[in-house]
Amino acid sequence: MPLFGIRGASVAHLGHRTIRNSGKTSSRQVLLAPAYVLHQYAYRDTGRIVEMFTSEYGRITLFARGASGPKSSLRGVLRPFQRLLVSWSGRSEACALVAAEMDGALTTLAKERLMSGFYLNELLLKLTHRWDPHPEIFYSYASCVEALCAGAGEEPTLRLFEKRLLHDLGYGLELAHTDEGEPVDPQRYYRFALERGPQLCVAEAPGAVYGRSLGDLEAGTFQDARSLRDAKRVLRVAIDACLEGRSLNSREVMQALRRHNPAVARAPQPPQQQPAVQRPEPAVQRPAVQRAVPEEEQS
């Protein structure tokens, strides 16, 4: 039986992927490979251990010796969300970073969007394997980061990336038909179950999503707020199943921020609400217009 409407996937397939890992023991030297930094942390005095995602080699771990030193050429280069060209060498799975340089213009993710960027990085860290190439995921990630940096809608951009990531990992969702083979009715409600995909239900059922929202997610277009909300609900069910019980730290941090400051939950919305109609209507102008009207009527 397919798992949560996944096309061509089984329960065993979720936990055991075939990893292409040639040249594990042989010497390896790579020059100027496109890559992004997913995570890094201190190693000894001035070194760094850097988790990277590359276009040709997938997710890799590199030792950057002396990267934090005052004279290191890597200072200010190993930035998250910045496309890089990296060179490394070594015999083991964790090789030595030889050089890194920025690939193209400097990219900066806005402060209010950093948690979304960290969320993307954590998805790649927890849903991909080391040395398992996924060039399609690399370019999908690159497009997502570029869109977020350029100011594209945060929620639609994240939902599209999640959907593509699941598809490229082999977990494409069945959204157009129920487990019984019936086409999803845009005017009815469905509950997206782990084992059976869309199941017909009433609107008041827990986790119910609108049929039209499933169609929007299938097409990759979101018509309104409900469509985005339902897409997030469906994709979270799928991603949580792939995580197999592991939590996402970025999600927990965002939820904690929302509990302490509810305004954070609506971070993408303030730019759209700032140019409100009320601002260009000063209180001084309105009485002037109201006084003019009676004077004209009396004359």
Q: Which residue has the higher pLDDT, 15 or 76?
A: 76
Identify the sign of the CA torsion 122, 128, 130, 136. Answer: negative
- For 40, other C-beta atoms within 10 Å of its C-beta total 18
In a domain, 193, yes or no: no
In a domain, 28, yes or no: yes
Q: pLDDT, tens digit, for every residue of 79-107?
A: 999 999 999 999 878 899 999 999 999 99
- For 131, other C-beta atoms within 10 Å of its C-beta total 19
SS (H, E, C) 203-254: CCCCCEEEHHHHHHHHHCCCCCHHHHHHHHHHHHHHHHHHHCCCCCHHHHHH
- Specify whether the CB–CB gap between 161 and 141 falls below 8 A: yes
In a domain, 70, yes or no: yes
> By mean pLDDT, which of 26-40, 122-136, 254-268 is the weakest?
254-268
| Residue 275: C-alpha distances to residues 166, 267, 269, 278, 279 (Å) | 37, 16, 11, 9, 7
In a domain, 225, yes or no: no
Q: pLDDT, tens digit, for every residue of 205-214?
A: 999 999 999 9
In a domain, 139, yes or no: yes
Please give the sequence-ordered ranges of beta strands (E in DSSP) within the chain, or none if there are none.
Answer: 28-43, 47-54, 58-64, 84-90, 94-102, 189-193, 197-201, 208-210
pLDDT confidence band for 295 (50 / 70 / 90): very low
DSSP assigned state of 103: -
pTM, two decimals, is 0.78
Q: Residue 87 sits in a domain of what CATH number? A: 2.40.50.140
Q: Output the six-digit token pair for 151.
A: 């100011």
- Between vectors from CA 271 to CA 118 and to CA 260, what angle results, nearest 5°? 55
Report pLDDT for 256.
86
pLDDT confidence band for 263 (50 / 70 / 90): low
Summary mean pLDDT of the chain: 83
Number of domains in the chain: 1
Residue span of the structural domain in which 96 resides: 20-149
Q: pLDDT, tens digit, for every residue of 143-166?
A: 999 999 999 999 999 999 999 999
- For 276, other C-beta atoms within 10 Å of its C-beta total 9
pLDDT at 67 over 70: yes
pLDDT at 265 over 70: no
In a domain, 285, yes or no: no
- Specify whether the CB–CB gap between 57 and 33 falls below 8 A: yes
In a domain, 229, yes or no: no
In a domain, 175, yes or no: no
